[in-house]
Amino acid sequence: MSQYALEVKNLTKKIRSKTIVDKVSFAVEKGEIFGLLGPNGAGKTTIIRMIVSLINRTEGEVVINGHNLDASFAEAMSSLGAIVENPEFYKYMSGYKNLRHYARMAKEEISESRIAEVVKLVGLDNAIHQKVKTYSLGMRQRLGVAQALLHNPAILILDEPTNGLDPQGIREFRDYLHELAATGISVLVSSHLLSEMQLMCHRFAIIEKGKLIHISSMDETVAEGVDELREVTFEIDEANNALELLKSSAVAFEEVSLKKELLTVKLSRSSIPAVNKLFVEKGISVYGINAAKATLEDRFLEITNKKGEEAVR
Amino acid sequence: MIGLVQNELIKIFEKKMSWIFAIILIIALVGTAVLELKTSTQQTEDDWKVQVQTEIDQLEKEMEKAPSYEDIPEDDYKTKAKEDIQAEIDSFNGNLNDNVNPYTTSWSYLDYYGIALKSLITLFVVIVCAGNISSEFSDGTIKQLLIRPHRRWAILLSKYIALLIYSAFLIAVLIGIGYLVSIAFFGIDDFSGKLSVQNPTTFEMEAVAGGAYFFQSLLYYLPGLIMVLTLAFMLSTLFKNQAIAVGIGVFVLFFSSTAGALIVGFSEKYTWTKALIFPHLDQTVFVVQDKILENITMPMSLGILGIYYLIFMFITFFFFQKRDISI
């Protein structure tokens, strides 16, 4: 058995002379939520559709749970469950009949009790025998998760899953994904919503213009740039004195704003303790220190801008 | 594969449309039977020959008084001429000689009206076929359908088989309900009871066995139906838009009979037009004649259809396999 739930190697898609996806490689570990991040039109959806074999690959290899998509198609496809964009169902049939339909397409027989279990898991017990046309978008999304989980896949692939969901629905969905990941199922999820991905994923790759330009874990990315200046707000009395004090010290900083009891400056992370020490020694009471955390958005813009500048040069 | 076909059949029969088509067919069967009952003379005697003989005797009496053509004023359309009555008598005598029952029997009803309703079946099959795959595209369900551990050709083949079964279902309704309607309205009739049909080339009436004629006509109708089904199926895979697929499918269906008729005219001058699909779509003409377009026999005609069939199937499966699903 492979250690990865999904491996993608040199995935390339060309339409005529235009390269839409260019040699993208990454791997998703078991029990990991992996994000594909990038602006609209970057090629995220094309990558996902190549993995689930909706779009033909020009080049490259896809290995799902150790099964190569070319060599053992049925085994590979059995190991994945997917929702591609909005989950679409046969609206003239009930949710249950839709699930039966997909259950019949599975390689291994899916029992009635398994269907009931999945329905319960996504909380559709009460509505499962109603026609899908009566479902709300959130219910369809949950039915989508149900059809993707029916056959116990190793990896769940979701393309822009939160599109059209309200904040409440997004939150439920996110919690739900974390629950799934805790049970050992891997998740590959694409989105252009950065803040959403930050809360959802363990690791992520940034895709831009068809290329994978960055890949790292969420903590690393946010922790990176330790020595860069970031905004730090000190809650202190005598903010004016404090500023003067800071100016006369050897600490490198930039002034941002000064209010009565709030001093906001740009500092490197490593000099925060030194500044605190300085204030305390000089008798200034420190009530709080608040270092603004670099968000994924900042990092994302940083990374994409850097690459953009390199390209210009 | 059985599971896939089962799925496709469920999807066809879960749509109300599929049942409405069957109901329309039943209504048409009952409707034509009622019309036939109201508009034509019905057999009242147990033995139709006795009734025919009484009619002849009566007509002969009428003829004695009837004037000939020249004696009828030009603006009088009601009076029957001697010659007309004589023709009727000849026709009845012909019936007696050929042993052809001139009154509506269950088989003659099926042969004249039941068979005519096959064009309804073709229409319904075209609509269902043309909408089958294109609706999966326009509803977006194709995405969920193709991310399963089945090759695309298998999924496509299962749809094709399910559509063949739906066509068989409509034909079964025509035969089954048609037979019930026919015996309910016109009584049970001998399977080999004769009736007369017109030869489309010589325009002469020929006596044929009613039951055998019905089933032979249906059998010869099948190649054309399968071709139209396959064509509509191809359109359905080529066009993502359901309306376009159904529209073109129905257009081709109606255009084909016109084109077939035109080609019969052109074929003397341009031999290659004989290889066009249109004149071959209707194989039922071979029930009463051996050749069409002067020298095309049924095996030749079927061979031409076979070539078109392979081309249609190849295009359908090739494009479906290659297509990028990016809706």
Judge if B255 and B232 occupy the same domain: yes
B134 and B150 assigned to the same domain: yes
Full residue range of the structural domain in which residue B127 is found: 2-38+104-199+209-322
Residue A230 has pLDDT above 80, yes or no: no
- Answer whether A77 sits within 8 Å of B148, measured CB to CB: yes
A65: helix, strand or coil = coil
B135 and B91 inside one domain = no
The whole-angstrom distance between residue B258's C-alpha and the CA centroid of its chain comes to: 16
Q: Are residues B142 and B228 in the same domain?
A: yes
Q: Do B77 and B220 fall within a single domain?
A: no
Residue B111, strand partner residues: none
Residues B34 and B45 in one domain: no
Q: Which helix (H) or strand (E) holds B282?
A: none
B217 within some domain = yes
pLDDT higher than threshold 70 for residue A226: no
- Give percent above pLDDT 70 in chain A: 89
**A305 — pLDDT class (breaks 50, 70, 90):** low
Quick one: pLDDT at residue A307? 54
| A36 in Cβ contact with A29 (< 8 Å) | no
Token pair of A18, please?
């235009």
Domain annotation covers residue B327: no
Residue B223: inside a domain: yes
Question: What is the per-residue pLDDT across A244-296, written as a single tens digit (0 to 9) for each?
Answer: 888 888 777 777 778 878 888 888 777 888 888 888 888 888 888 887 766 66
Element (H, E) at B4: helix B2-14
Provide the pLDDT for residue A202: 85
Tokens at residue B69, please? 């053509």
- Does some domain include residue B45? yes
Looking at B102, B122, B145, the residue that finishes a domain is B102
Domain edge (last residue) among B87, B102, B117: B102
| pLDDT tens, position by position, B197-214 | 776 666 677 777 778 888
Same domain, B54 and B185: no
Q: What is the ipTM of this complex?
A: 0.77
Backbone angles phi, psi at B181, to 5 degrees: -60, -45
Q: Do B184 and B288 fall within a single domain?
A: yes
Q: Are residues B174 and B47 both part of a single domain?
A: no
- What is the enclosing helix (H) or strand (E) of A261? none
Question: Which residues, in sequence order, are CB contacts of B102 under 8 Å at separation 6+?
Answer: B48, B52, B91, B92, B95
Kindly state whether B19 is in contact with chain A, defined as any CB-CB distance less than 8 angstroms. no
Same domain, B230 and B140: yes
Residues B15 and B69 grouped into a single domain: no
Task: Tell me whether A99 touches chain B (CB under 8 Å).
Answer: no
| B204 in any annotated domain | no
Q: Which two tokens stand for residue B249?
A: 């499918």
Task: Domain count for chain B, please give it.
Answer: 2
Residues B193 and B62 in one domain: no
Q: Count CA atoms closer than 13 A to A199's CA, side-chain side.
A: 12
Of A55, A97, A105, the CB nearest to B150: A105
Q: Which residues numbered 68-97 in A keep a CB inside 8 Å of some CB on B? A: 73-78, 80, 82, 84-93, 97
pLDDT, tens digit, 9 for 90 and up, residues B89-140:
777 777 777 777 777 777 888 888 888 888 899 889 988 988 888 888 888 8
Which residues, numbered 116 to 145 in chain B, qualify as contacts with chain A under a Cβ-Cβ cut-off of 8 Å? 139-141, 143-145
> Any CB–CB contact under 8 A between B14 and chain A?
yes
Query: Which structural domains are found in chain A, ordered by start?
Result: 4-223 (3.40.50.300), 229-291 (3.30.70)
Distance of alpha carbon B167 from alpha carbon B186, whole angstroms: 27
Asked if B139 and A90 come within 8 Å (Cβ–Cβ), the reply is yes
Chain B interface disruption, residue of A55, A64, A84, most B CBs within 10 A: A84
The residue among B79, B102, B125 that closes a domain is B102
